[in-house]
Amino acid sequence: MASDNYGIALPQSKYWRPVGCPPHESLVKGSHTTIRIGQDLDHSFFIHTKLLTFHSDYFRGCLNPNNAFKEFTENRVDLHDEDPEIFELVNQWLYTGMVWSATRENCVERKWKGFVFTAMRLWVFGDKRGMPALQNAAIGVFHWCYWKTWSSLDGIDPAPMLRYVDENTMESSKLRGFVLEIVTNTMMVGTKADEWLDGLSAAILYELIRVLDRLAEEGGKHKPKDQWLASLDLCKWHVHAKDETCHSSKGNEEKKKTEEKSSNGGRERRR
């Protein structure tokens, strides 16, 4: 259980939120903040302020009364460089815990391929605005849509994915690492490699080579590709607080302490 700025225990943290989990009732009370989106600021969203500040470091900063920024005094935040389509999904996730209910019909109609890129853009929004729980949700959607696209044999051209993460993420980015892992494990790298590697930075090419070297050392231990995709532990590519994982639990912590005590006892006996 986490605690927000209002001292209320919450069933979710800013790093993780169960799929479909609506916001805690304490976050959908009180004042609203107007969010204006787009170059002309012609798309407006009215969102509970507590909901924004709980999930976003960015909004927490600009709407903090102690900072006295104009966003707080005007109770409005303008985001000229954001896409209204992406923010519509952000708004939906804030209130429902679901990223894609509005686009589920498209996914059912096998339009998964396009939503893979939407999920990447959603992740980048979360990265820019300090919304790790949204980033983790976007990784889940990316994985699901990619899995459905790959298994349906529609395929995805790796070039746009690689270029997007090359241009929009840092080397340590979880999305970047996930895309490289996915591409190298499900694509025939030698097929038209010159075409889809053209124009990539030296940094991401080096990262790609490191992943390929690791896979070569593992000697093809993976399951068939569709099974491999289905069985991935996405926690590896989630944004978490230090020493936190999706599998963290009191039971695991107790087990770890017991193992440590046992190990220490063994060393003392050997002395």
Q: What is the pLDDT of residues 60-95, one digit of tens each?
A: 999 998 887 888 888 899 999 999 999 999 999 999
Give the integer Cα–Cα distance in Å for 114 and 242: 33
Instruction: State phi, psi for 38 to the nearest 5 degrees.
Output: 105, 160
The amino acid that residue 141 corresponds to is V
CB within 8 A of 5, min separation 6: which ones? 53, 54
pTM of the model: 0.80
Contact 75, 62 (CB under 8 A): no
Contact 213, 115 (CB under 8 A): no
Distinct helix (H) and strand (E) counts, the chain: 13, 5
Whether pLDDT at 207 is above 70 = yes
Whether pLDDT at 176 is above 70 = yes
Largest CA distance in the chain: 73
Share the mean pLDDT of the chain.
78
From residue 68, alpha-carbon distances to 22, 34, 45, 57, 73 in Å are 30, 17, 22, 16, 7
Tens digit of each residue's pLDDT (9 = 90 or more) over 229-262: 878 889 999 998 887 877 763 334 443 444 444 4
Integer distance in angstroms from the first to the last C-alpha of the chain? 42
**Strand pairing partners for 1?**
none
From residue 246, alpha-carbon distances to 131, 134, 186 in Å are 16, 14, 25
